[in-house]
Amino acid sequence: MLGVNVDGVVFGIRSALPALRRGGGGSIVVTSSLSGLTPYPDDPIYSMTKHAVVGLVRSLAAPCAKDGITVNCVCPGFVSTPLIDEYRSRFEAAGMPLLTAEEVAAAVLAAAGSGRSGEAWVCQPGRPAEPYRFRGVPGPAPVD
């Protein structure tokens, strides 16, 4: 889980940065989860890995800004993909709506096009994506 959820993000960003720097800037958007913003007692290790992604994104904002690069993450809830097929009936029985792939894609585009960096974009069914507000915690420095 660490290899996919944390190392994959770290190595992906590390690989993209040189090309973005050569190109004069750009935008990186990685995937975290709502479990990266709130406790998820059912799977604390998963939650830990997604919190790590949020922390990385927030920490990279300032150093990447000097190169004209924004770094954000999307934090979707449960998405209607084959990954949740085993639990789909539980979601339906509970009346819990699932995100569509299109809603997550729209969140990625919103984060990439925001002109801001170091944000964790909450993505929930039927609602436009928006940056999470870390109450009482300073956010990343604005991008010039």
Catalytic residue positions? Answer: 46
CB neighbours (10 Å) of residue 125?
A: 15
Task: List, in order, residues 6 or more apart from 99 with CB less than 8 Å away.
Answer: 76, 77, 78, 79, 80, 123, 124, 125
92: tokens are: 């339906």
